[in-house]
Structure formats: structure tokens, C-alpha cells
Amino acid sequence: MINKIKIERAVNNLTQEQLAQLVSVTRQTINAIELKKFVPSTVLALKICKVFNKSVDDVFILEENDYSI
């Protein structure tokens, strides 16, 4: 899964630490999501999108290999 969290953080002038505090996780969690090492829960993804005032589809994009079952 691709995500645009780093881009959205830049647009909104937020550090990883600030975003982490807003969604009640650690900075390391935000870093891991940005680096595609961790896929957030639905609730966390929704919280992140709410901070940016974006839809889930605007921030998280499934890659072709994510569609295989």
C-alpha cells in the first residue's frame, strides 16, 4: 500500500511527532507507516485522514499486488 502521509504532513506543516500526538500513537508508528513497514488499522487510517481533512482514498492507495488474495 502506498501512502501520502509524508506529503500531507509537509502540506500541513506537521512533524511526525506532531501527527503522532494528534492520532495518539508514537512517532515511530508514523515513521513505520510512511516507510511502508506497517499497515495502519482502519481506525488509525481514518484518524490520520481526519487530521488532513482528506478521504482514505486520497491518502492511502492500494498497489496492484495488494489485490491478490
pLDDT in tens, 24-55: 999 999 999 999 999 999 999 999 999 999 99
Domains defined for the chain, CATH in brackets:
2-61 (1.10.260.40)
Mean pLDDT within 5-16: 98
For residue 66, what pLDDT is reported?
83
- The answer to whether residues 49 and 59 touch, using CB atoms and an 8 Å cutoff, is yes
Q: Report the chain's mean pLDDT, rounded to a whole number.
A: 96
Residue 10, C-beta contacts closer than 8 angstroms, at least 6 positions apart: none
Percent of the chain whose predicted confidence (pLDDT) is above 90 = 90
| pTM of the entire predicted model | 0.92
For residue 67, what pLDDT is reported?
79
Tell me how far CA of residue 15 lies from CA of 8, 38, 52, in angstroms: 10, 18, 13
